[in-house]
Amino acid sequence: MEQVLQWVSPMRRLVEVRREQFAILMFLLVSAMFLFADATIPPVALRDEARNAINAIEMYLGGFSLVTTFEFQPDLWNTKPPLMIWMMSASMSLFGPSEWALRLPSALAAMGMLACTLVFVRRITGSLATAVTAAAVLLLSPGFFGEHGARTGDFDALLTFFVTAGLQLMFFAVHRARPGRRRMFAIGGLIAAGALTKSVAAFIPVAGVLLYLVAVGRLKRALSQSHVYAVAGVVAVVPLLIFYALREVAAPGYVAAVVYNDVVGRLTENLITATGPFYYVTELSLGWCFAGPFLLGAPLAFRNCSGRARLLFLYAASIACTSLLVYSAASNRALQYALPMYPWLSIVAALTLRYLAQFLAERWRHGDKALVSVVGAAFILVSGQLTYRAAYWRYEGFPKRQFYPQSSYGNLFAELSARGVTSLTVIDPGQDHHGTVGYAPLLRWNRLIWQEKGMTIDHNLKQRGNERGPVASCEPLVFDRWSGPALEKIGSCAVLWRR
């Protein structure tokens, strides 16, 4: 009998592990479908994603370089380090230039964030339900999957993945009497990757670790091991400094542009829109982060947390609060800047919901069924509203916001190519972009793709009368003035055929 029990117990544990692994894989599969399964691939967004797309496709066409370009000239407007552009260019080399290849690095980073957060919380709390809740709260945050997030080719998802993974490793390091050097190299390498993605933004969440060490009384011990932590600091900072030096030599003027674009301008000048000091608090609480409303119960949940869950709660809150203070203190504010906070806010929300579930279960056992019913109904109502909001933005809100007249050029060129057209002229006035007249990055993105496929596509801001081949435009302000039998509407664009 004892031999049978000795055999059954390990088998039972193995079955439980397999069940957890299956549950995690299923969650990630459903998450991937929610994030990326679309009937049609959304067009490149006009704002920052389009600029990144041009940087990436020009590097794909011109070869690996330290210098990102726009119109094959050094780009001093988008001055972020080139790690993401390198990854996009590599993706295009493997799969060909397309929206899908452009967004692959962000998609992998988003899935990595979900997986890391789930495993991290499961390891610390021992609760798969809490871990899945944290990952689900992150997944359903419109700020996570929307513009500048998981579904677009922007810097923020990749930055957040690297920094979040590094800080998750740091949690285990600060609770060791002697953190290993290899762990410190790994932490420094991940933060360095974040810095090579979006410059100094990678170091803002790291500052929250100092607040945590002070809060739990471990700062003195960490300082006694400063030579070990210095390894992570050096590994995190030196690659960025080396890149800056090499990039300046390759194309002078870059460092000055970086200082303004990424440091001075962000902190002292409002480069986007006028927003108040409580901008992030307001936006996050309105549902851009699914965790927002549940954070109201965080203080009560923290008071009732204990053990490793309490440490995790405080660690996540320290990183989120420090980041929030820094972001709010800067004059330049945008919703996507807050994305590195989302994994940590999701963890705090999951621990808060865990406490709420335990509280309701206890009150139910004590006979307070009316209280449990009221609180449970309120919870279902709030959760349902947030889930509806997430579904709206995923399937309707963001797709509407991503459409611009320039978005249709890819479909237009595909249709003309199928008809055997090899040369044409596009008339599009573009936009006024920081003093640049005729800025049309979506048109340029599609021109470069189709020129690689053998089409010759000229771009004029105005119609001159001597254009080569058919004349086309997806800008209503242009083709609304066209008429006659030679005019043909193709989708949301128009073509004037030449006899």
Interval 263-317: pLDDT, tens: 766 555 555 554 677 889 888 888 889 998 889 889 989 988 888 999 999 999 9
Amino acid 269: pLDDT: 58
Best mean pLDDT range from 326-340, 342-356, 357-371, 479-493: 342-356
If pLDDT is split at 50, 70 and 90, which confidence band does 48 have?
confident
- Which residues is 473 bridged to in the sheet? 494
- Which residues is 459 bridged to in the sheet? 426
- Which residues is 490 bridged to in the sheet? 493
Q: What is the mean pLDDT of residues 244-263?
A: 89
Amino acid 407: pLDDT: 85
pLDDT exceeds cutoff 90 at 436: no
Q: What is the mean pLDDT of residues 12-24?
A: 80
Total domain count for the chain?
Answer: 2
Any domain includes 116: yes
pTM for the predicted model, two decimal places: 0.92
Amino acid 273: pLDDT: 55
**d(Cα 283, Cα 389) in Å, to the nearest integer?**
14
Is 311 in the same domain as 327?
Answer: yes
Is 326 in the same domain as 409?
Answer: no
Any domain includes 29: no
Amino acid 43: pLDDT: 87
pLDDT exceeds cutoff 90 at 489: yes
If pLDDT is split at 50, 70 and 90, which confidence band does 70 have?
very high
Is 174 in the same domain as 255?
Answer: yes
Q: What is the mean pLDDT of residues 204-231?
A: 92
**d(Cα 287, Cα 345) in Å, to the nearest integer?**
12
Is 443 in the same domain as 295?
Answer: no
Amino acid 7: pLDDT: 57
Q: Give the domain-ending residue among 345, 369, 401.
A: 401
- Taking every pair of Cα atoms in the chain, the longest distance, rounded to a whole number of angstroms, is 95
Is 369 in the same domain as 448?
Answer: no
If pLDDT is split at 50, 70 and 90, which confidence band does 1 have?
low
Q: Give the domain-ending residue among 401, 423, 447.
A: 401
Q: Give the domain-ending residue among 381, 401, 421.
A: 401
User: Where is 436: in which H helix or E strand?
Assistant: strand 436-439
For residue 422, give its domain range: 405-496
Is 185 in the same domain as 311?
Answer: yes
Task: Name the amino acid, one letter, at 298.
Answer: A
Any domain includes 251: yes
- Of residues 373 and 47, more confidence is placed in 373
Share of the chain above pLDDT 90, in %: 63
Amino acid 298: pLDDT: 92
Is 391 in the same domain as 414?
Answer: no
In tens, the pLDDT along 142-190 reads 999 988 999 999 999 999 999 999 999 999 999 988 888 899 999 999 9
User: Where does 284-408 have alpha helices with state H?
Assistant: 298-303, 307-329, 342-365, 369-392, 398-401
Amino acid 364: pLDDT: 87
Amino acid 437: pLDDT: 84
- Confirm if 123 and 375 have CB atoms less than 8 A apart: no
Any domain includes 133: yes
Is 246 in the same domain as 285?
Answer: yes
Amino acid 267: pLDDT: 59
